[in-house]
Amino acid sequence: MSEPAVVTETLARVSVAGLDEILGVRLPVLDDGFVRLVDYMGSDESIVQAARVSYGSGTKRVSEDRALIRYLMRHHHSTPFEMCEIKLHVRVPMDCWRQWIRHRTASVNEYSTRYSLAIDNAQTTGASEWRRQTIANRQGSDELLDAEIGSYLSQREHQLTVLAREVYEERIAADVAREQARKDLPLSTYTEAYWKIDLHNLFHFLRLRMDSHAQDEIRQFATTIGHKIVAKWCPIAWDAFIDYHVESLELSKIERRVVSLLSDGNSDAAIAELESLGLLSRTATGFSRNRERIELEAKLRKLSIAIPWAE
């Protein structure tokens, strides 16, 4: 039999001490939710090991491992990251879970309310936690509502949750099937699931759900997974992910042109460019709202470039 093309070494199961310490520990999120690490496979080392199958065993030192992982992350060479997997047990309100479950690349088993009684707990919102509908888009929220109104809203929430649970339990007592009895439970009811995903797809989930555009509740879960689990599990890959995919700034072709013109002090040409593309149109009171331009303005602020049309 011929020798394998890839140099094989004596293998030991990879373990990460920092992660072993939190195995099985409930990391609290929201008022009664949690993320609990059930199991994991791989580490930064496994990413490097898989990549070396592609690139040969030339890079060995830790500094080179770091450079290799960063290279892979920068260039979207994703399969080495798929060599790491993680299994979590999560407890999440159903509205949040509905967003979470849209990520199709995980393996999931959810608590069944056809089979078992629905969890007797719903996520509550404190008087000072009600968020106002944002005017920036139709989806998000921004500043907080007055605590006085909030107090009324929290009280009504409590009444609704208590009533919904009473009705549910009445149906169960009347021998209604669990699958039907549950239909009027609020979306704030907690559910639980086992969720297993590889590191590449987990980074995709985290990029979308840790982002400021994601709903605050799911952001809290994503941030807990990212900062309290992934950062310990694969610290080099985590740093690279933050650098290249979270804290980085992506510029479109138009945006690059505008940045270049503004950096050259050519404000009039930058304005003319945006006007010609319909991104900047004057109204009697200023400029009409344009989402792409607003996003460009946010990027210019991050780059500390003055916005001439906003002056």
Ligand X SMILES: Cc1cc2nc3c(=O)[nH]c(=O)nc-3n(C[C@H](O)[C@H](O)[C@H](O)COP(=O)(O)OP(=O)(O)OC[C@H]3O[C@@H](n4cnc5c(N)ncnc54)[C@H](O)[C@@H]3O)c2cc1C
The residues of the shown chain that bind ligand X, judged by CB under 6 A, are: 102-105, 201, 204, 208, 213-214
Q: How far is the CB of 108 from ligand X (least distance, A)?
A: 11
Q: How far is the CB of 162 from ligand X (least distance, A)?
A: 31
Q: In terms of DSSP bridges, do strands 282-283 and 190-198 run parallel, antiparallel, or are they unpaired?
A: unpaired
Is the CB of 75 or the CB of 138 nearer to ligand X? 138
Is the CB of 26 or the CB of 102 nearer to ligand X? 102
Is the CB of 89 or the CB of 204 nearer to ligand X? 204
- Taking the C-alpha atoms of residue 71 and residue 185, their distance in angstroms, rounded to an integer, is 48
Ranges assigned E (strand) in 182-290: 190-198, 282-283, 286-287
- Taking the C-alpha atoms of residue 156 and residue 146, their distance in angstroms, rounded to an integer, is 16
Q: How far is the CB of 109 from ligand X (least distance, A)?
A: 17
Q: Is 102 a catalytic residue?
A: no
Is residue 141 exposed (0-12), middle (13-18) or buried (19+ Cβ within 10 Å)?
middle
Catalytic residue among 209, 219, 282, 289: 209
- Taking the C-alpha atoms of residue 180 and residue 164, their distance in angstroms, rounded to an integer, is 14
Q: Indicate the SS3 state at residue 102.
A: coil
Is the CB of 114 or the CB of 213 nearer to ligand X? 213
Q: How far is the CB of 204 from ligand X (least distance, A)?
A: 5
Catalytic sites, residue numbers: 209
